[in-house]
Structure 1
């Protein structure tokens, strides 16, 4: 009988249902990712600018690639070794208009350098600009008017990542970035496309790049870090697999902040599902810097496959609670307690703040690498000035009296329940017939009714799953 009901449901769904939700919907915004199958989790790697500026050469980059392996960075997930500005000759093009490297500093050429990096099991990234010149003002260094030729050049060198800057005088921002996107796709080589125009200007960027800068250039001080957190958080709804908000490269280990501040900086980039592009000299890291950059438990938050960007859920003055859902079943949350203030302070996360029902939940401290215990309604930790405590909270309670998914109260889960959830999300009804109210439709157990509950209901009816995440 169950198979028959599910077959009937499938027929109904196929015949009459066209989903009002696109493949990715977040907070009501339609998200269309660049379809190159890259960046399904935020990219991890290293970039030359923050530590070397324009003073780069072949030997330094090879040493960085070596250190990426020997330091444990590669094992922690870092894979891109990215050149920033000033790698090219002056002027930057040959008689045929092809970009050429500075052979005094890169005597083996870019293809040989890429081959060396690839031999280490790493990937090679390069820098360009949509204008006539790059930001270092090297004659003929920009890609304006040369997009297809430059994309082919990058592909022939074995480039895996392009950071594309915005030192251009024209106002054709979107068109310029889209021309290089199309040129990269035309090469057939998978190249991660990082838009660097210093601010989020609209949803077109989601369809254009794998990541986009949301902020001005970062600097190695606490004020810059907190400013970039605030600006980057404004476009949180647009982040997801294949398309990420980028609050700029990491400053961890560059020496002008404390290790406590660097730990908070790294924590928040992971909470915001940001690209983790280190910018320090990884050839000679301190133990503290290495421990921050290679903390696999915190990195796992950034790399969570669901791809949800964490957001601030409560605050009191300079004391804040941020939450990032992990996975898709609504039972596990990453929580960061952030203290922007000048003195240490207790910060509390309530389960209600992070959409978990009151009841037992286990807490693990991801910097201390220890389990803290089980707590019924929340957790409090003392957080140092300019510091962060990062927690993994796992819910462990389900109300056994609720038949999740049976929103009409009929005792069975069928196409009518599915239709009612759809109508609720579209605003056509405000409550469900079942006596347990809205809670019965919360099939993922995260305390709210979203498109994810709708999708899980469909999967249940089609036989793809046989129980809901809320049914622990």
Structure 2
């Protein structure tokens, strides 16, 4: 359940908070005295006038598509393990080379003992729950914290210890959820702690053909942004902020 009004966030962060819960189909609740509490004046100025289109997106019963942030591909020829989300390589960055040399991104995947071993230091990809959870490389010890189950069908990599998926932490994220009218609700999220970035959502990532024409609508401003083919690139989004969209194929309009 979402409780808007509690916490020490700025206006943009409250919009982000609300948008993520809306697209996640979670119950929405404003819990504060919007007429007396100055520090959450945003709730009265913004959330009490929430677009009904955002509420519709929240209430849609359609199921969400599988997140690509947990899907990976392994190239046995060059040893890379790439995220299906953005094509970036699983990499060891904290080393003596700038930005990681090629060998920092090369891994040997063993189906025999279910290990993923770095070709840079010969150590196993290790699940570390003490500070995270996160992954690092440690001396191979044949424990289930270093054994990974690769599903060739859905592209997921799960740690044998407790079945959690190896995932990529993104600073720029695209959240999507299908709606009952065959459109897609999309949230473009800038997670960084400073600066602003533009974000591109590709039609192929939200279940539309690459050549599809679609109407893009900003659900917070309640304005159509135009008709786009194949993808939409946002203007710069400030840190901790979002743009929430509805993307509708033209033949369904």
Larger relative strand fraction = 2
TM-score by length of 2: 0.53
Distance in 1 (CA, whole Å) between partners of 2:222 and 2:192 is 25
Aligned partners of 2:65 and 2:8: how far apart in 1? 27
Where structure 2 has 5 or more consecutive residues not aligned to the other structure, the ranges are 70-84, 87-169
Q: CA contact under 8 A between 1:313 and 1:354: conserved in structure 2?
A: no
2:221 maps to which of 362, 368, 386: 368
After superposition, the CA RMSD in angstroms is 2.4
Paired position in structure 1 for 2:22 = 270
Measure how far apart 1:293 and its partner are.
4.6
Structure having the larger proportion of residues in helix: 1
| 1:249 counterpart residue number | 2
Q: TM-score, normalised by structure 1?
A: 0.29
Partner of 1:388: 242
Using the TM superposition, give the Cα deviation of residue 384 of structure 1 relative to its aligned residue in structure 2, in angstroms: 1.3
Note the alpha carbon deviations across 1:327-372, whole angstroms, 9 max, x for none.
0x5x300000011112211110000000011221000001122110
Structure of greater relative contact order (alpha carbons < 8 Å, 6+ residues apart)? 2
Q: Aligned in 2, Cα 1:311/1:344: closer, same or farther, shift over 3 Å?
A: farther
Report if the CA contact (8 A) 1:311-1:322 is conserved. Answer: no
Quote the offset at 1:278 in angstroms: 2.1
Q: Which runs of 5+ in 1 are unaligned?
A: 1-247, 398-468
- Partners of 2:2 and 2:21 within 8 A in 1: no
Separation in 1 of the partners of 2:66 and 2:56? 17
Preserved CA contact (<8 Å) 1:360 1:375: yes
Judging changes above 3 Å, is the alpha-carbon distance between structure 1 residues 310 and 352 closer, same or farther for their aligned structure 2 residues? closer
4+ aligned runs moved over 6 Å, structure 1: none
In the other structure, the counterpart of 1:11 is none
Q: Distance in 2 between matches of 1:318 and 1:271?
A: 18
Partner Cα distance (1:310, 1:288) in 2:
32
Mapped partners of 1:376, 1:384: distance in 2: 25
**What residue is the counterpart of 1:80 in the other structure?**
none
Query: d(CA) in 2 for partners of 1:311 and 1:265?
Result: 21
Task: State the partner residue of 1:350.
Answer: 202
Contact in 2 for aligned 1:339/1:388 (Cα 8 Å): yes
1-structure distance, mates of 2:22, 2:187:
10
Larger radius of gyration: 1
Residues 65-464 of structure 1: matches in 2 within 5 Å?
248-250=1-3, 252-254=4-6, 256-284=8-36, 288-290=42-44, 291-295=46-50, 296-304=52-60, 306-309=61-64, 312-313=67-68, 317-327=170-180, 331-342=182-193, 343-357=195-209, 358-381=211-234, 382-397=236-251
